[in-house]
A = this chain, B = another copy of it.
Amino acid sequence: MKPESQPTTTTPNVEPSARELLARNLVRLRAERRFSQEELAYEAGLHRTFVAHVERRMRNISLDNIEKLALALDVPIASLLEPS
């Protein structure tokens, strides 16, 4: 059948981009907590549209603001950048 070329046996190590990782974790964790973007933004002390931009990978967020999001979601900072 051969559906498509698979990433064969040993190729784990191409990590998605940092923005991608952050975006996915943000969306996932926010959903788990049943927060709207607005609620998360409020908890983090950020603007709603800024969070939306980050979740869409349109913005290059800084470390201080990543930290605010981690605190708002009550997770370690590093976990926001781990592959899910």
Question: Which residues of A line the B interface, CB within 8 A?
Answer: 15, 17-19, 21-22, 60-64, 66-67, 70, 76-83
Contact = CB atoms under 8 A, between A and B. Distances in A.
A77 B81 contact: yes
Interface centre among A15, A62, A82 (most CB of B within 10 A): A62
A62 B67 CA distance: 12
Contacts of A82: 76, 78
A17 B78 CA distance: 11
Contacts of A17: 67
Contacts of A64: 18-19, 60
A31 to B, nearest CB: 20
A18 B62 CA distance: 11
